[in-house]
Structure 1
Amino acid sequence: MTATDTRAPARPRRSLLDRNTAMRLAATEYGRYLDLLRSLDEADWARPTDCPPWDVRAMTGHCLGMAEFAASLPTFVHQNAAATRRGGVPVDALTDLQVHQRRDLTPEQLIARYAAVAPRAVRGRRRRSLLVGRVAMPGTQTVGGVPERWTFGYLFETILTRDTWMHRVDTARATGRDLVLTPEHDGVIVADVVAEWAGRHGRPYALTLTGPAGGRWTAGEGPEMQLDAVEFCRILSGRTAAPAGLLATQVPF
């Protein structure tokens, strides 16, 4: 006789943010990333980033592609279909496609198209979140080596903002530009990351994050941890090698 696993499958992950907050964060993040792009000089576009093999220009192509993916349903469908034809890991195929399709754009064209699409991306994300936010996306995503399912709401309300935010961090680091951080915006993004991280590991902790986006969070009698808020997120994203313990729990960006 073969034993049968009767455990119910994990529910698809949903956003922890309310929709209005999520869309406010999206609009502000698109604007801050655009401001950073406008500050770059000619040499900055070829600088390497923390996402090899992307330089700043390739990373911008991905961010533009993802904003256009969010803004237009036909583009959303086209990119998904083309990425599927490429094969391999779906998210890697999608991001590679976005970079490839925008590889011939000049920095000026990248900036102009991003400025034009950003407001439409917010509207498109809100619209699709309302229509299919609770629907499970097809397939699975792998986080920390473990496959999991997401809702479309988690993608449109949370992940697409985190993705832009982390690439703004990457771009600032690559070019030596100051990273604009405020409690009202970045602090909310970081707090959401902390809440998801805590839910993923489910163990006691005491966390102090420093800087404008920081704060303090505790649950039970756990180990004390203190580090910079942005560095905390970089560790959870896999950009920095995680020390042993709770910081090895990955969170998607």
Structure 2
Amino acid sequence: MTDTAAPAQRARPIDRTAAATLAAEEYDRFTELARSLAPEDWHRQTDCADWDVRAMTGHVLGMMDYVSSVRQFLHTRRAGSKAAHGRPVIDGVNEVQVTERASLTVPQLLDALARTAPKAARARRRLPAPARRIPMRVEFNGIWERWTLGYLYDVILTRDTWMHRIDMCRATGRPLRVTPEHDGRIVADVVAEWARRHGRPFTLVLTGPAGGTFAATSAGQHLSADAIEFCRVVSGRGAANGLLGQPVPF
């Protein structure tokens, strides 16, 4: 655990350089985990009710393809919009990604991850400034929010892959590789957004290698949790109460 106090509402944002480093490292870690799986692991149920490990990996690969080319991005958005049928578009996008990769064998899936991960990391890093400012309307927690493409590329896509790596470790019993420099930076950013979204005073002590002590003020609710479990809860996994009921997009 890192015990340095960090005022969450003043946490340093993840800039483009840091975002690129985190994205590339997370893709590498996810690919490494997938390669370590035994044949029986691929059909284990994950915390995402509709996905086993195989489907979840197809989704992550689909997201890599999604950002690797404009053509794939547009195709997935169009197909996802049609597949959504009144649900949030992201649900349709996820469904299309899994369905379109369901015919890949496990060796083909692993090969595609290895090929596509560096391409996706480069594409995200090279997204030009004008494109980064493109606005997006996204439905989150029943509310329409205004995001930017830069926020999606720099923050959300890394959180998504990271959380699915956690899901897969939980499903298969594989150890989760956690370091303060990588996972701790992702956790701190999640805490900062969680704090901005609820806007109330708190002290939060997160344990484990990715943890730390975060405080908006010395008053308010005092919370303590494992760092990974905190992120699972605010992502919508696990029981939540009080300020932990404030969700954060992943």
Same fold flag (TM > 0.5): yes
Q: In the aligned structure 1, how far is the partner of 2:13 from the partner of 2:91?
A: 25
Which letter maps to 1:53? D
Unaligned segments of structure 2, at least 5 residues:
1-11
Q: In the aligned structure 2, how far is the partner of 1:83 from the partner of 1:129?
A: 25
Partner of 1:208: 205
1:58 shift after superposition: 0.3
Alignment of 1:41-120 (within 5 A): 41-86=38-83, 87-88=85-86, 89-120=88-119
1:53 shift after superposition: 1.5
Partner of 1:16: 13
DSSP 3-state at the match of 2:200 = coil
DSSP 3-state at the match of 2:81 = helix
Instruction: Tell me, yes or no, if the aligned pair for 1:211 and 1:228 is still in contact at 8 Å.
Output: yes
Deviates more, 1:118-127 or 1:42-51: 118-127
The one of the two structures with greater contact order (alpha-carbon pairs below 8 A, sep at least 6) is 2
Alignment of 1:90-239 (within 5 A): 90-128=89-127, 130-137=129-136, 139-142=137-140, 144-220=141-217, 221-239=219-237
Unaligned segments of structure 1, at least 5 residues:
1-14
Which letter maps to 1:111? L
Change beyond 3 A, Cα 1:197–1:129:
farther
Q: In the aligned structure 1, how far is the partner of 2:64 from the partner of 2:232?
A: 22
DSSP 3-state at the match of 1:120 = helix
1:106 shift after superposition: 1.1
DSSP 3-state at the match of 1:250 = coil
Partner of 1:40: 37
DSSP 3-state at the match of 2:213 = strand
Q: CA RMSD in A?
A: 1.2
1:146 shift after superposition: 2.4
State how many pairs are aligned: 236
1:147 shift after superposition: 2.1
Q: In the aligned structure 1, how far is the partner of 2:70 from the partner of 2:130?
A: 12
DSSP 3-state at the match of 1:149 = strand
Partner of 1:6: none
Partner of 1:7: none
1:172 shift after superposition: 0.3
Which letter maps to 2:103? D
Instruction: Tell me, yes or no, if the aligned pair for 1:141 and 1:150 is still in contact at 8 Å.
Output: no
DSSP 3-state at the match of 2:171 = helix
Q: In the aligned structure 1, how far is the partner of 2:207 from the partner of 2:49?
A: 28
In the TM superposition, what whole-angstrom CA distance separates every residue of 1:126-154 from its partner, at most 9, and x where no partner exists?
222534112212x3322x33221110011
Change beyond 3 A, Cα 1:133–1:21:
same
Change beyond 3 A, Cα 1:120–1:178:
same
Instruction: Tell me, yes or no, if the aligned pair for 1:209 and 1:229 is still in contact at 8 Å.
Output: yes
In the TM superposition, what whole-angstrom CA distance separates every residue of 1:164-209 from its partner, at most 9, and x where no partner exists?
0000000000000000000000000000000000000111000000
1:159 shift after superposition: 0.3
What is the TM-score of this pair, normalised by structure 1? 0.91
Which letter maps to 1:109? Q
Quick one: percent identity of the two aligned structures? 54
What is the TM-score of this pair, normalised by structure 2? 0.92
DSSP 3-state at the match of 1:227 = strand
Change beyond 3 A, Cα 1:129–1:180:
farther
